[in-house]
């Protein structure tokens, strides 16, 4: 690793895990940001045209690319060992959501990064959605009475063939659902708890396709419905009732509606994440927030499990 991260030259970056999100969002966001130079890609099967490609992190680290950082976009299971190897090599690490498969793993990565003096960034892309910051500041001055989350999408449309999502450690419907929790815990800071969870797991699979949670933020009741089998209109909504009117974040946080007045912002989630990562690296700091992951873990701990019919693509 080259230790020029506090200078002004672009950060030399490798992306690990070339799948849907790497291609849809990470590669374009990096290409558009002159503060980064993408120097390599790592994936067991996929490749990125025009770059040196490596099968795994060990092969990457054996080559001399004078790297500063890696951005890890693999599924959550297996992420920890990749992150640890990168930190051992002196690299700064940016993690796609969820940051790891378990709370213990992310705690270990965090401790390791701190001890090595490397930046660790647990990203939550939905927090960068256009309406989130404005929602948080509007709510800060109001008494919140309740929150309702509806996160309902069609797994076959958005994640075709991604069997890992329904494996152990794949998060099931919490793969998208954790995005809602990342927004909810950003716009309503406080002490969050899960009070009850019903998880519906298809026969022969390990992770739920449907989940209903009863939560609280302090004394504010929060209910959440997550459904991975939604046909027809897709729904990524958070509704907050306050003593001074109704706030709705729709379309994954990109549309903000307050008492019927709608504001729609441009999508800049991943450019925002890379700008934040650069700031963290340059300032020698980390941003590690596991709150959404902790709520999902609590849901799995408390869950009443229900078997539902087998799922096939």
33-36 contacts, C-beta under 8 A, 24 or more apart: 33/271, 33/274, 33/275, 33/278, 34/10, 35/10, 35/11, 35/274, 35/275, 35/278, 36/10, 36/11, 36/12, 36/274, 36/278
Extract the tokens encoding 226: 């997550």
Cα 129 → chain centroid: 12
Supply the minimum distance, in Å, between the C-beta of residue 192 and ligand NAP. 20
Supply the minimum distance, in Å, between the C-beta of residue 200 and ligand NAP. 20
Rule CB under 6 A: say whether 20 interacts with ligand NAP.
Answer: yes
CA-to-CA separations, 162 to 19, 147, 157, 172, 297, in angstroms, rounded = 10, 31, 11, 10, 21
> Binding string, 164-203, against ligand NAP, x = CB under 6 A?
-----------x----------------------------
Q: Which of residues 212-251 bind ligand NAP (CB under 6 A)?
A: none
- Is 248 labeled as catalytic in the residue annotation? no
The span from the CA of 134 to the CA of 153, in Å, is 25
The secondary structure of 115-152 as a DSSP string is HHT--EEE--GGGGSTTHHHHHHHHHTS-EEEEEEEEE
Residue count at the site for ligand NAP (CB under 6 A)? 23
Pick the closer one to ligand NAP by CB: 75 or 202.
75
Rule CB under 6 A: say whether 43 interacts with ligand NAP.
Answer: yes
The single-letter DSSP state of residue 303 is: P
Pick the closer one to ligand NAP by CB: 153 or 257.
153
Supply the minimum distance, in Å, between the C-beta of residue 4 and ligand NAP. 26
Pick the closer one to ligand NAP by CB: 96 or 257.
96
Question: Site for ligand NAP (CB under 6 A): which residue of 13, 15, 83, 96?
Answer: 96
Pick the closer one to ligand NAP by CB: 131 or 177.
177
Indicate the SS3 state at residue 170.
coil
Supply the minimum distance, in Å, between the C-beta of residue 257 and ligand NAP. 24
Supply the minimum distance, in Å, between the C-beta of residue 189 and ligand NAP. 23
Piece in contact with ligand NAP (CB under 6 A), picked from 18-26, 147-155, 191-199, 303-311: 18-26
Rule CB under 6 A: say whether 66 interacts with ligand NAP.
Answer: no
**How do 36-42 and 53-54 pair as beta strands?**
parallel
Question: Site for ligand NAP (CB under 6 A): which residue of 78, 90, 221, 271?
Answer: 78
Which of 20, 97, 143, 248 is flagged as catalytic?
97
Helix (H) or strand (E) holding 74: none
Query: What ranges make up the beta strands (E) of 177-287?
Result: 192-202, 210-217, 220-227, 235-242, 245-250, 255-258, 261-264
By CB under 6 A, name the binding residues for ligand NAP.
16-22, 42-46, 56, 73-76, 78, 96-97, 125, 162, 175
Active-site annotation, residues: 97
């Amino acid at each position: 690793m080259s230790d020029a991260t506090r200078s002004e030259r672009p950060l030399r970056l490798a992306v690990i895990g070339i799948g849907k999100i790497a291609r849809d969002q990470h590669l374009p966001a990096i290409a558009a940001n002159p503060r980064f130079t993408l120097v390599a890609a790592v994936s067991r099967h996929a490749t990125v045209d025009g770059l040196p490609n490596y099968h795994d992190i060990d092969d990457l680290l054996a080559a001399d690319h004078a790297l500063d950082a890696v951005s890890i976009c693999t599924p959550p299971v297996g992420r920890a060992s990749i992150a640890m190897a990168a930190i051992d090599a002196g690299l700064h690490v940016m993690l796609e959501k969820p940051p790891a498969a378990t709370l213990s793993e992310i705690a270990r990565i965090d401790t390791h990064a701190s001890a090595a003096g490397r930046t660790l960034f647990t990203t939550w892309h939905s927090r960068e959605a256009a309406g989130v910051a404005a929602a948080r500041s509007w709510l800060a001055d109001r008494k919140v009475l309740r929150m309702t989350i509806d996160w309902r999408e069609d797994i076959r449309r958005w994640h075709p063939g991604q069997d890992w999502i329904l494996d152990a450690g794949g998060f099931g419907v919490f793969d998208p659902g954790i995005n809602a929790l990342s927004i909810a815990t950003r716009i309503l800071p406080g002490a969050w708890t899960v009070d009850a969870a019903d998880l519906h797991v298809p026969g022969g699979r390990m992770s739920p396709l449907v989940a209903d949670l009863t939560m609280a933020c302090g004394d504010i009741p929060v209910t959440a419905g997550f459904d991975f089998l939604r046909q027809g209109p897709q729904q990524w909504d958070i509704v907050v009732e306050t003593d001074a009117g109704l706030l709705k974040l729709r379309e994954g946080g990109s549309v903000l509606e307050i008492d019927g007045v709608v504001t729609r912002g441009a999508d800049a989630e991943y450019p925002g994440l890379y700008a934040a990562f650069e700031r963290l690296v340059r300032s020698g700091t980390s941003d590690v927030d596991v709150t959404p992951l902790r709520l999902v873990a609590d849901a799995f701990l408390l869950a009443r499990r229900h078997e539902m019919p087998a799922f096939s693509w």
